[in-house]
Amino acid sequence: MVPNINTEYEKYGSNTKGLIVLAAHKSGTDANIQTFDNTNKVKYPSISGNSGGTTIFSTYQVNTTPTLILIAPDKKIVEKDIWPIANLPTILAKYNFTPITNNLNEKVVSEIAVKNVNAQKIGFSIPIDGNYKISLYTVEGKKVMDLVDGFVAKGEHAVSMNTHELSSGIYLVKMRFGDVNKSQKIMINK
């Protein structure tokens, strides 16, 4: 189930357009849900029962779990039980939601830029809110570390890098948004 929802989540803009994907759980703690999400590689945001999931189920009178619901911008529920997940594209088309094309993903990826690099941090610019994967590789293609893997807000950011065991030299920063990738060479001087 999770891989299918991950696919649809990315296909419809990773919560950057009109469609918002949120996993609401009827019960459970934040720690339980975080463990589930990490284990199952969930890409979309989740809310536990203790943090508001129970309220979502009662507010929208959702009785079935697992299921997907579709809520209009005016906060009215338009579809209460989208199951099986294979029905989602048909239902979204009925409400004029369209998948995000590679052209948008390519435009977004072309605008991601590594701005500053030093031995401890890498700075980068993100053009729109969304889910990104940014990793550091050797020029031979061996993954060194993940720098970002998840939701990032639009704007300038910096992440710490543990470069103690790296040699000074040229590395590749590989960036991914949706199904589009970009690589940029960087120099690490220690």
**Is the pLDDT at 105 greater than 60, yes or no?**
no
Angle at 24 between CA 20 and CA 27, to 5 degrees: 175
**Is the pLDDT at 160 greater than 90, yes or no?**
no
Residue of 189, 9, 186 whose CA lies nearest to 89 = 9
Average of per-residue pLDDT across 165-182? 83
Q: Encoding tokens for residue 97?
A: 């939601």
What is the band of 111 on the pLDDT scale with cuts at 50, 70, 90? low
In the chain, % of residues over pLDDT 90: 5
Q: What is the pLDDT of residues 31-70, one digit of tens each?
A: 888 898 889 888 878 888 888 888 878 887 777 776 777 7
pLDDT recorded at residue 187: 83
Cα 143 to Cα 135: distance, rounded to the nearest angstrom: 7
**Is the pLDDT at 82 greater than 80, yes or no?**
no
Average of per-residue pLDDT across 131-145? 89
pLDDT recorded at residue 55: 84
What is the band of 26 on the pLDDT scale with cuts at 50, 70, 90? confident
Q: Which domains, and CATH codes, for the chain? A: 2-94 (no CATH), 102-188 (2.60.40.3080)
58 Cβ partners below 8 Å, 6+ apart?
none
Judge contact between 131 and 10, C-beta under 8 A: yes
pLDDT recorded at residue 92: 78
**Taking the alpha carbons of 82, 88, 93, 95 in that order, is the dihedral positive or negative?**
positive
- Mean confidence (pLDDT) of the chain: 78
Residue type, 47: I
What is the band of 21 on the pLDDT scale with cuts at 50, 70, 90? confident
pLDDT recorded at residue 144: 92
Judge contact between 15 and 37, C-beta under 8 A: no
